[in-house]
Structure 1
Amino acid sequence: MHMVIKTIAMLAMYIIPYLLMIVGVITNVWAILAMWIVMGIAMAGIGFSIMHDANHGAYSKNKKVNKYLGYLINIVGGSAINWKIQHNVLHHTYTNIDGMDEDIDPGKLMRLSPHKKRYMLHRIQHIYGWGLYGLMTFLWITTKDFRQLFRYKNMGLTKSQNINTQVQLFRLIIAKILYYAVFLALPIAVLNINWWLVLIFFIAMHFTAGLILGCVFQPAHVMPTADFPLPDKEGNLENDWAVHQLYTTTNFSPNSRLLGWYVGGLNYQIEHHLFPTICHIHYRKIAGIVKQTAEEFGLPYHSQPNFLQAILNHARMLRDLGKYDVAPVKTYV
């Protein structure tokens, strides 16, 4: 019931503001902007709290429920198929491993791993990086999904996941057309404001969602306490998978129930990475056991006391990655 209520709340936060604008209930230009911002907040919430669990098979015991709720990423401009490969296969298997984990490989504009080449521009990435996080979902709705599909095909990942690339490409094109038609073309056609204002508000929605997503996902792994291990010549890592997750992952705000509700338990990133097929409503319950077990075996259990501290330490990590070829490992307090 908890997940059902959350699902209804998040979808309502996304759909109702849209309908209020489309049917003409809200006509004031500033109120319309506010509706788009609320939709951006809801976009991130749908990703955190519904789609994420569903695509991990953790939302329900019913596989069909997980399958169809996982497709909710498509109504916010993304691709469920690509996301599952990027997140479930690559990120969860190869967390913080350069060349495999795409979450630490945003291109040359940012350096999120000490193993990436450092450029002069990176010296100020702790300043401009937040703006790039805001562009995250723009990549979904433009080029990223198409580039990923062909890259995954070349890597053999689509074949290993039993995905027909041509069929997926067709579905991807149709999904993008429908998304633009509903969330951009229709508002331009029916809202009684200039088309360029609609475009700006559409951009504001995506920037809001992208910034929120970046501020939740990146402080979980790009932190001063996180490891960025490299495999040996045979492709083996020093630690096994579970231990690897403890060395590369960080929790934050473990005592904030409101934040935990909104981000789908992703403030308990360690528990999520160790048990990705468990619904996030159980993370708080198992966190104490995980922490105690880690301490018993002399393993790290990194946790930031609150969200602000996590953001500050992530910013300091961005700064260090921009200043040093090998960022010094520090525990900022």
Structure 2
Amino acid sequence: MFCDDCVNKEISTKDLQSVIDTLDNFKQKVIVVADGKYEASNDGTPFNENDDIKRIILNFRNLINGKLPPPIILSFEDSVDVAGDIINLYKAKTKTISKERKEILKKIGSLIGENEGSRNWLIDMFVGLVLGGIFGGASIYLIKRKDIHDKFNNMNQELQKDREDINKGQSNINEDSKLAEFRNENNDLKNENSKLKDENNQLKGENNRLKNESNSSLIDEQSRVVELSVERKITTFYLSTPNADGSFRDTRSNTMNPANHMYEFELIDENTAKFKPIDNPSVVTEATSYPESYLKPVCEYIGGFNSSAKSIKLERGNEGIAKLVGDKWELKTKAKIKLL
């Protein structure tokens, strides 16, 4: 009923002697149950109306750790109040073990078991007194039981209120903790944002510096290109046909005119220049028509002379060299040309 391996015995409260003998003779744990509720035991365990029988048995078995057999359950068939009265008698018996009390209890047990017709008035009176005492004790017991029940309810209400207060306090603590966590995260984001702003400002400064350097470099490069262009214009000039000895009169011009000029000069230094025939159709036609006057004094043919050539080609490094002496450019090295 209350545990699988407990010894369950159902007895009647009318058989008081059987109850007393059972409680006296069993050497193991005996738990008395009335109307499905724990009432007492033979080891003097105090009564508590809130005790659950299964929990009592479990605690007992854990306590003995399997060294003793399972408890015996005595279940009364009658009501709780009657069973409680009999148990109170048994408690009184165990407190004062006197021969006279034992005899009285035995007589009560035997008299309860007799037929109604065999009772006499003395027994009826005695039994009436005993039953009156029993009912009086039962009344006191019920009053105390109700008082205990009220106290338990009050305690339970107080515990419930304390539990609610604790839950509210815990909720407030959790909210405070979340708020603190949120503030910490917000501060971290602010710090990170500040770092990003600093890095952005640094990048802007670096970008401006690079722009200034780039603009400055571009201006310098443009200036250098202009200077080189001017220098090239100054160092490159044009002359007419050579003399028979290979010299040129220094009638230089910075602008080429095919009708007047036949050779292009480029200064190496102030008094030295390299030269080559101008590769222009009208110049080529004029030169190939009068090669003895225009080409042979200052040029050597690579691959022979070609009177029908349309172009005069010269590989780099094959330019002629002339030296400025007075107002003449005197020949030092002839140019090597191809007539194609």
* Bin for the TM-score computed over the shorter chain: under 0.3
TM-score w.r.t. length of structure 1: 0.24
TM-score w.r.t. length of structure 2: 0.23
- Relative to its length, the structure with more strand (as a share) is 2
- Relative to its length, the structure with more helix (as a share) is 1
Which structure has the larger Rg? 2
